[in-house]
Amino acid sequence: MEANLAHGCGVPEEDILRARIYALLARLLAAPITEEDQETIRALEGDGTEMGAALGSLATIAAKTSLKTATDEYDTLFIGLVQGELVPYASYYLTGFLQEKPLAELRSDMVRLGIARSDDLVEPEDHIAVVCEMMHGLITGAFGEAASIETQKDFFDSHIRPWACRFFQDLEAAESAVLYMPVGTIGRIFMEVEVKAFEMTA
Residue 137 lies in a domain: yes
Q: What's the confidence (pLDDT) of residue 201?
A: 85
User: Domain tally for the chain?
Assistant: 1
Decide if pLDDT at 5 tops 70. Answer: no
Decide if pLDDT at 7 tops 70. Answer: no
Alpha carbon 42 to chain centroid distance?
19
Residue 6 lies in a domain: no
19-74 confidence digits (pLDDT tens): 999 999 999 999 999 999 999 999 998 899 999 999 999 999 999 999 999 999 99
146-171 confidence digits (pLDDT tens): 999 999 999 999 999 999 999 999 99
Q: How far apart are CA 53 and CA 188, in angstroms?
A: 13
Please tell me what DSSP assigns to residue 158. H
Coil, strand, or helix at residue 127? Answer: strand
CATH number (domain holding residue 139):
1.10.3480.10
Residue 78 lies in a domain: yes
Mean pLDDT of 95-110: 97
Residue numbers of the domain that contains 166 = 21-201
**Burial code of 73-110, b = ≥16 C-beta within 10 A, e = fewer?**
bbebbbeeeeebbbbbbbbbbbeeeeebebbeebeeeb
